[in-house]
Amino acid sequence: MQANALKQIYQDTIENSLGLVTRIDDDGDVRFRHPEYGHFFIRLDADSDPEYLCIVYPSFLTEESTSLSVPEILSVLNHVNRTSKAAQAYLLEHEGGFRVSACACGYFAGTDQAPSPDLLGAVLPRYLAALHHVARRVQQACKDAMQMH
């Protein structure tokens, strides 16, 4: 499948079904902002996995927003992820700190086929809500852990 065609399917679906403005970033990902939940992007791999959807809620927690250490945050993430259905949170370390993001991924079409806009329009709101829910649970668990210090 052509990368531009897959990007267009996602952009059209997000804009038409959710009423949100999209843009393509330098990596070729579809980015958008939900007015209640925040910024998201969809990783695309039109060449080898057009049927695979991976939506990311990036950097909803950083070293600047918590005093917890990396091991303490990993413990929080393990607890939240064990009880989460659709979305998983993860920590990425970088020079000078870390950031916590979440993703929800799945296959939504047959091998080497694009997902249907109708199916995407139905699952995207659920994935966004699941990502938002996981992020809020992580943030609250971190806040609770900081109060115990």
Residue 11, domain CATH? 3.30.1460.10
Tally of CB atoms within 10 A around 73: 21
Average pLDDT along the chain:
94
> How many whole angstroms separate alpha carbon 111 and alpha carbon 72?
40
DSSP 23: E
Confidence category of residue 147, pLDDT binned at 50, 70, 90: confident
pLDDT in tens, 24-57: 999 999 999 999 999 999 998 888 899 999 999 9
CA-CA distance, 44 to 114, in Å (whole number)?
A: 11
Count up the domains in the chain and report the number.
Answer: 1
Tokens 């079904």 map to which residue?
17
Range of the domain at 47: 3-147
3-state secondary structure of 34: strand
Coil, strand or helix: which one is 53? strand
What letter does residue 29 receive in the DSSP assignment? Answer: -
The total of other beta-carbon atoms located within 10 Å of residue 23's CB is 11
pLDDT recorded at residue 1? 65
The pLDDT value given to residue 62: 93
Q: What tokens does 101 get?
A: 């993001």
Tokens of 6: 């897959």
Q: What is the mean pLDDT of residues 67-86?
A: 94
pLDDT above 90 as % of the chain: 84
pTM of the full structure = 0.93
How many other CB atoms sit within 10 Å of the CB of residue 148?
Answer: 5
